[in-house]
């Protein structure tokens, strides 16, 4: 089969197309013939070496496709099922072996493209808005990179929960995307002081929660945007990882809460996975959640997809199509 291999960490040119054997499913595993692959910022972190993996490896944490074969003891899925999954590395390939419990059946009216586009960022938006800081009416959330893949879905789910949403975007071209997702206010954070704007929009009080996927460049001002005892959720490193923080800083900024969550710990068993993925795919099937696909590439064009995602030009989700 054809697959992308990374033999050494580095730039997008390290994503090499190679012919390797089709993997075989062991006990509890299924072989998936892949239709679409989601491109995520986490794939860039693994490629550059910010996140560690044994070399060589096949990147890609999310895909949709059809079950081709199952290993011993598999009861969750059968050959021929349309499935999607996230948080299992090796998706940049024609086939992938996945623990069967991690596979979720795709509703019949949802395409492979939308399913692959929604799993990772959709379940992330779900845990952020439902578990990390469960939003409800009366809350105001500040959501950075609101026109991005995770951003648009987080904005939509925050609105479903009844919260007021202040979104930030890096360019004027992205304002409409953030508004279309439901943001009540959109701040151009490269031009405006977003902490001052967030304070002004909340009558000087500050927001209840910041969902910050941008990392190094927004961290300090995100803390300044919060109300006393508000929650800072730093969940990504798009501009680089956040440096070390003194706990006393949280005291001086208003007894703040700080957390650095990851999806892996929010879909670690079948019950939680089914809750989050069931909601996300069900809302897409019912027309309640919109997934904006910002670009589709072939497997061999994946380097370009990484360049585009890192360049801040994209909105919504980037996909690979086989």
When asked if residue 213 is in the footprint of ligand NDP (CB under 6 A), the reply is yes
Helix, strand or coil for residue 174?
helix
When asked if residue 149 is in the footprint of ligand NDP (CB under 6 A), the reply is yes
| Per-residue DSSP letter, 23 | P
Inter-residue contact 104 to 83 (CB < 8 Å)? yes
When asked if residue 277 is in the footprint of ligand NDP (CB under 6 A), the reply is no
Q: Which two tokens stand for residue 18?
A: 């190679």
Min dist. Cβ of residue 217 to ligand NDP (A): 6
Residue in 157, 187, 214, 289 binding ligand NDP, rule: CB under 6 A: 214
Helix, strand or coil for residue 103?
coil
Cα–Cα distances (Å) from 74 to 69, 70, 78, in that order, read 10, 6, 8
Residue in 84, 118, 187, 309 binding ligand NDP, rule: CB under 6 A: 309
When asked if residue 41 is in the footprint of ligand NDP (CB under 6 A), the reply is yes
When asked if residue 148 is in the footprint of ligand NDP (CB under 6 A), the reply is yes
* Comparison of 25 and 294: residue with beta carbon closer to ligand NDP: 294
In angstroms, the CA 143 to CA 167 distance is 5
Instruction: State the CB neighbour count (10 A cutoff) for residue 192.
Output: 11
Binding mask 165-194 for ligand NDP (x = CB under 6 A): ----xxx--x--------------------
Q: Which two tokens stand for residue 20?
A: 């390797």
Min dist. Cβ of residue 295 to ligand NDP (A): 10
When asked if residue 145 is in the footprint of ligand NDP (CB under 6 A), the reply is yes
In angstroms, the CA 294 to CA 200 distance is 32
**Segment contacting ligand NDP (CB under 6 A): 15-23, 233-241, 244-252, 272-280?**
233-241
Min dist. Cβ of residue 71 to ligand NDP (A): 28
Inter-residue contact 169 to 197 (CB < 8 Å)? no
In angstroms, the CA 268 to CA 254 distance is 33
In angstroms, the CA 61 to CA 26 distance is 19
* Comparison of 90 and 151: residue with beta carbon closer to ligand NDP: 151
Count how many residues are written for the chain: 322
In angstroms, the CA 203 to CA 199 distance is 6
**Segment contacting ligand NDP (CB under 6 A): 2-10, 27-35, 257-265, 270-278?**
257-265
| Per-residue DSSP letter, 214 | S
Min dist. Cβ of residue 309 to ligand NDP (A): 6
Q: Any idea what the Cα angle at residue 310 is, between residues 304 and 315, rounded to 5°?
A: 90
* Comparison of 217 and 321: residue with beta carbon closer to ligand NDP: 217
**Segment contacting ligand NDP (CB under 6 A): 39-47, 68-76, 245-253, 272-280?**
39-47
When asked if residue 53 is in the footprint of ligand NDP (CB under 6 A), the reply is no
When asked if residue 310 is in the footprint of ligand NDP (CB under 6 A), the reply is yes
Residues making contact with ligand NDP (CB under 6 A): 40-42, 120-121, 124, 145, 147-151, 169-171, 174, 213-214, 217, 235-239, 261-263, 309-310, 312, 314
């Amino acid at each position: 089969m054809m697959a992308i291999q990374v033999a050494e960490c580095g730039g997008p040119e390290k994503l090499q197309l190679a012919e390797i054997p089709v993997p075989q499913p062991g006990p509890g595993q299924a072989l998936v013939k892949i239709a679409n692959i989601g491109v995520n910022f986490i794939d860039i972190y693994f490629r550059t070496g910010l996140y560690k993996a044994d070399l060589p490896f096949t990147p890609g944490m999310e895909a949709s496709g059809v079950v081709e074969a199952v290993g011993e003891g598999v009861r969750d899925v059968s050959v021929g099922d349309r499935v999607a999954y996230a948080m299992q590395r090796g998706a940049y390939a024609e086939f992938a072996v996945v623990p069967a419990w991690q596979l979720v059946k795709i509703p019949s009216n949802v395409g492979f493209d939308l399913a692959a586009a929604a799993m990772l960022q959709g379940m992330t938006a779900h845990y952020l808005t439902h578990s990390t800081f469960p939003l409800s009416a009366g809350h105001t959330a500040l959501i950075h990179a609101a026109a991005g893949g995770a951003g648009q879905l987080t904005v939509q789910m925050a609105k479903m929960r009844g919260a007021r949403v202040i979104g930030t975007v890096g360019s004027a071209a992205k304002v409409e995307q953030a508004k279309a997702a439901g943001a009540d206010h959109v701040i151009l954070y490269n031009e405006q002081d977003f902490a001052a704007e967030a304070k002004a929009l909340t009558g000087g009080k500050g927001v209840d929660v910041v969902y910050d996927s941008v990392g190094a460049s927004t961290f300090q001002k995100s803390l300044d945007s919060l109300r006393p005892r508000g929650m800072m959720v730093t969940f990504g490193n798009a501009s680089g990882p956040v440096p070390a923080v003194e706990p006393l800083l949280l005291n001086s900024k208003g007894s703040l809460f700080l957390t650095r969550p990851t999806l892996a710990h929010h879909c670690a068993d079948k019950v939680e996975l089914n809750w989050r993925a069931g909601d996300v795919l069900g809302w897409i099937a019912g027309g309640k959640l919109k997934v904006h696909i910002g670009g589709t590439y072939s497997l061999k064009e994946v380097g370009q997809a990484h360049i585009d995602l890192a360049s801040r030009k994209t909105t919504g989700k980037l996909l690979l199509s086989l």
